[in-house]
Amino acid sequence: MIRLYLKPNRERPVRNGHPWIFSGAVESVEGDPEAVGVADVFDHKKTWIARGLYNPKSQIRVRLLTWHEETIDRDFFARRIAQALALRQDFLSTKTNAYRLINGEGDFLPGLIVDRYADFLVCQFFIAGLELFKDDIVAALSALESVHGIFEKSEGRVRDEEGLGYFVGVVSGAEPPDTISIEENGFKFLVDVRCGQKTGFFLDQRDNRAFLSTVARGRTVLDCFSYSGAFSLYALGGGAKEVISLDSSRPALELAEKNLALNGFPDGGELLKGDAFAYLKECDRTFDAIVLDPPSLAPKRSDVTAATGGYKFLNLHALKHLNPGGYLLTFSCSQHLSTDLFQKVVFGAAVDAGRKVSIVKRLGQPVDHPVSLHHPEGEYLKGLVLRVLD
């Protein structure tokens, strides 16, 4: 076991439950400082504080798992998974069989994402220390009720920063079909876990889609960054008069077409392949509601300034294309862009668009994407429902 000692005055956030220890807070390391593994963390007076996973290659040297002296083993992960499952069972509708089962730090399992799509789980291991416990975690997950197979999709920037390669494939049980059929609030969707984006579906927007369906009746709706058509489908389900789904990805739109047909909307409006920035600028018509759900424009902290330009552009042109009394559901999923800054950017867009706008509702992450109170960085998704006056 590694023993890691903090510099003087660096223990407070650790004691208060923040799960990350950056390299700059570390005074010294005992044990093999080059090896990934479980580490005990002490303050500079050598008092034990917490236990976590150590990676000498990562700027985040330790991700904390527990503030009790408990063994990190299969049982530990099974207990955390059971806690996470209980939260979902408390809140999720019986008409929903797709949800995030483990949301990393928000479920006190840093670096681990597990999404359930009906009888299949898709997991992402983002940090090196978790690799040591992959068999234990997979065993604990396979023991859950009605899990036919577990697919791993561990790739992306965080793994690069951790010095890890990628792994994509089945890790337990059955191979998932090309598309898994799921149900969300009674709507049916096909999810392509292999070729789809992220783990295959954007579960974090479930409640926000439901909100759209409550204001869709009789309205014309433009769903920008539609992916597999989820907002569009909720709009149609809510009685929208006309829906346009716009995305730059052809496979996403092909899936959207299937999803709309599957739910009884074979002519579910127009599916447009294109760049949302260009479309919004050049479009020569107006809508009663627009959804703006772009991918993160600031994946890194250093991208924030450039990203604010992108968000402003999108919101400005969307606001210009709304009919009086129309709604804009605008989102940012950039962790590094704060709620305050996002609102300021949207305000700037409204001023430049020459529209008077009210905030009708603030939107965020659903119950299956909990945020640790000790790790506010986990609150990445922010949304505003705006109404233009005239």
Residues near ligand SAH, by CB under 6 A: 197, 202, 205, 225-228, 230-231, 247-249, 252, 275-277, 293-295
Structure tokens at 55: 């990676």
Task: Please say which residue, 228 or 332, places its beta carbon nearer to ligand SAH.
Answer: 228
Task: Please say which residue, 19 or 229, places its beta carbon nearer to ligand SAH.
Answer: 229
Please report how many Cα atoms fall inside a 13 Å half-sphere around the Cα of residue 364, on the Cβ side.
13
Q: How far is the CB of 180 from ligand SAH (least distance, A)?
A: 15
Task: Please say which residue, 106 or 294, places its beta carbon nearer to ligand SAH.
Answer: 294
Q: How far is the CB of 229 from ligand SAH (least distance, A)?
A: 8
Options 195, 224, 283, 333, the catalytic residue:
333
DSSP, residue by residue, 257-320: HHHHHHTT-TT-SEEEES-HHHHHHH----EEEEEE-PPPS-SSGGGHHHHHHHHHHHHHHHHH
Task: Please say which residue, 314 or 319, places its beta carbon nearer to ligand SAH.
Answer: 314
Neighbouring CB atoms inside 10 A of 340's CB total: 9
Q: How far is the CB of 225 from ligand SAH (least distance, A)?
A: 4
Q: How far is the CB of 349 from ligand SAH (least distance, A)?
A: 17
Say if residues 294 and 232 touch (Cβ distance below 8 Å). no
Q: Is 123 a catalytic residue?
A: no
Say if residues 159 and 166 touch (Cβ distance below 8 Å). yes
Task: Please say which residue, 64 or 290, places its beta carbon nearer to ligand SAH.
Answer: 290
State how far the Cα of 209 lies from the Cα of 363, in Å rounded to an integer. Answer: 10
CA-angle at 292, arms to 274 and 341, nearest 5°: 130
Distances (CA, A) of 298 to 103, 209, 242: 20, 23, 32
C-alpha 322: how far from chain center: 28
Q: How far is the CB of 118 from ligand SAH (least distance, A)?
A: 17
Active site residues: 333
